[in-house]
Amino acid sequence: MSLLSSIPSPTVSDFQLGPLTIHIYALCILSGIVLATLITDHRLVRRGAERWVTLDIILWAIPIGIIAARFYHVFTHPADYFYAGANLWKVFAIWEGGNAIFGALIGGAVGAWIGCRMTGIRFWSFADALAPAMLVAQATGRLGNYFNQELFGDPTTLPWGLEIDYPNAAWPMGVEAGTLFHPTFLYELVWNLVGVVVIITLEKILYLRWGKAFGVYLIWYGIGRSFLEAMRLDPSEVIFGIRTNIWAAWIAIAVGIVIIIVQSRRHPGREQSVYRVGFPKVNLESATQ
């Protein structure tokens, strides 16, 4: 007899704290940001950066990344927001879910580049330190989808099928009540955490600097997301019969490969400092990771 017949969904997605409504989805996103900041800063400090310089960088990266993540989601799911009688303020209701990681990557990269220019940190050094931390943040953020009962996959009879409340705004038309679905949030969470181990292990075996660790991140996440995206039932824009996020995942894989090839040729030697020329060195890299 199987000990697991299904995965129940949470019965709450928010709670009251005085006059405030606290959305668990938002807490998951914030927790991911905090974890990513701590991990990235630890990795940068070990490589010679001033402690907490990461905060100066994320002050630019996070706001721009969140804005880009939201608008990427909205414009790749226009039917959810633009229709007769729609409340257009829903476009800004980020606490209800709907933040695209590919938008966050684009906006966050712009913000990180600005922050790195302000602090003197090499952009690719920051990106390498961030690579496994991004996967931790994404894994944590996926728990928010679990609490919101959203972005689940195809119907399944597997013992770890996910229970979804019925009726539910995300319930697919024509599917009977009581149907279980693939817990894509859990699949991606596990895939991302395995990716953390892969990146850190490869850093110990190979010398992943000058953006190459970030390249591995893009490849790893892109591969996983391309498969999981194909399982999801939420509506999405389709280009040539393929969901936009699958296209984005393939682009991420291609960009990751290009970064590794180009940076390997441009920088065959070791990274002497995470600071650009002209900025002070706190200390040289003190340990391998």
In sequence order, the 6+-apart residues with CB closer than 8 A to the CB of 104 are 65, 66, 68, 69, 72
In a domain, 288, yes or no: no
Give me the number of domains the chain comprises.
Answer: 1
Nearest to 3 by CA among 159, 155, 157: 159
| Interatomic CA distance for residues 88 and 198, integer angstroms | 42
Q: How many CA atoms lie within 13 A of 67 on its CB side?
A: 9
Q: How many residues belong to the chain?
A: 289
In a domain, 273, yes or no: no
In a domain, 83, yes or no: yes
| Interatomic CA distance for residues 187 and 91, integer angstroms | 28
In a domain, 278, yes or no: no
Give the pLDDT score at 176.
87
First to last CA, the chain: 44
In a domain, 289, yes or no: no
Q: Where are the alpha helices (DSSP H) in 87-183?
A: 101-119, 123-148
Angle between helices 53-76 and 123-148 (to 10 degrees): 50
In a domain, 2, yes or no: no
In a domain, 163, yes or no: yes
Give the pLDDT score at 271.
82
| Interatomic CA distance for residues 268 and 276, integer angstroms | 17
Q: How many CB atoms lie within 10 A of CB 73?
A: 23
| Interatomic CA distance for residues 132 and 192, integer angstroms | 9
Give the pLDDT score at 89.
67
pLDDT along the chain (289 residues), means of 10: 74 85 88 94 91 91 86 74 67 66 86 91 94 95 90 90 85 85 94 96 91 95 94 83 91 96 89 77 45
Contact assessment for residue 285 and residue 243, using Cβ atoms and an 8 Å cutoff: no
What is the domain range of residue 40? 24-266
pTM: 0.85
Instruction: Evaluate the CA torsion angle 181, 185, 191, 193 in order and state its sign.
Output: negative
Give the pLDDT score at 36.
94
In a domain, 129, yes or no: yes
In sequence order, the 6+-apart residues with CB closer than 8 A to the CB of 155 are 161, 175, 179, 180, 181, 182
pLDDT digits (tens, 9 = 90+) for 68-97: 888 887 777 676 676 676 666 676 666 666
Give the pLDDT score at 280.
62
| Interatomic CA distance for residues 224 and 178, integer angstroms | 28
Give the pLDDT score at 276.
80
